[in-house]
Amino acid sequence: MKKATKSGAPVREHLLPSKLLTRQIKILVAGCGGTGSAMATGLVYLHQALLAFGHPMGLHVTLVDGDKISASNCVRQPFAENEIGLYNVEVLATRINLFWGLNWDADARYVNSSWSPTIHPDFLISCVDSRLARKQIAGSDAYKAASHWLDLGNNTDTGPVRTWTCRSCQCGEWPATTSKCRGTVSRDHQRRTGCAG
């Protein structure tokens, strides 16, 4: 249902599928560098809020990234020098699980067409900074299974956020990153906006 704000701009109302209100919500975070590690930590607070407001099971999060921690990661990401050489998702998931008493998963691989998740996510959150990584995610089982996709990008001077609902909801089909959302994977967009990758 479309409404209008005071300025007259249209507002789209979005309703979550009812199944997400009665069972654990499965989230996959692809990329756990600067943006992904902040997102993962923030999801803990969303999990706690859902439980506090009566959701039966909150969130189950799977963190996926094939990168290992390097010295440069310790500058702007929540990693220490003694963690250099370890997989960032394993360190992050272990830290979250120990502190909050959770059982979230770490998968030290990259999301691409050959990657198969152990569970199919309701929400896919991509926190990657290259067109190639987005293109690989768009060819993955996670992309095919998720009902919602949140893409958090990095440009040279901005951080665009894109969100879609997909085929298993009311809209029938979600836009492919390579067509409607060309900027997430094309070089033309990089020339116009300075998009990283």
Q: What is the pTM of this model?
A: 0.79
- Separation of alpha carbons 30 and 33, rounded Å: 10
Q: Are 90 and 73 in contact (CB under 8 A)?
A: no
Q: Dump pLDDT digits (tens) for 23-38.
A: 999 999 999 998 999 9
Range of the domain at 118: 26-193
Q: Dump pLDDT digits (tens) for 112-161.
A: 888 887 778 999 999 988 888 888 888 888 888 888 888 887 766 777 77
Residue 151 lies in a domain: yes
Q: What CATH number is attached to the domain comprising 175? A: 3.40.50.720
Residue 18 lies in a domain: no
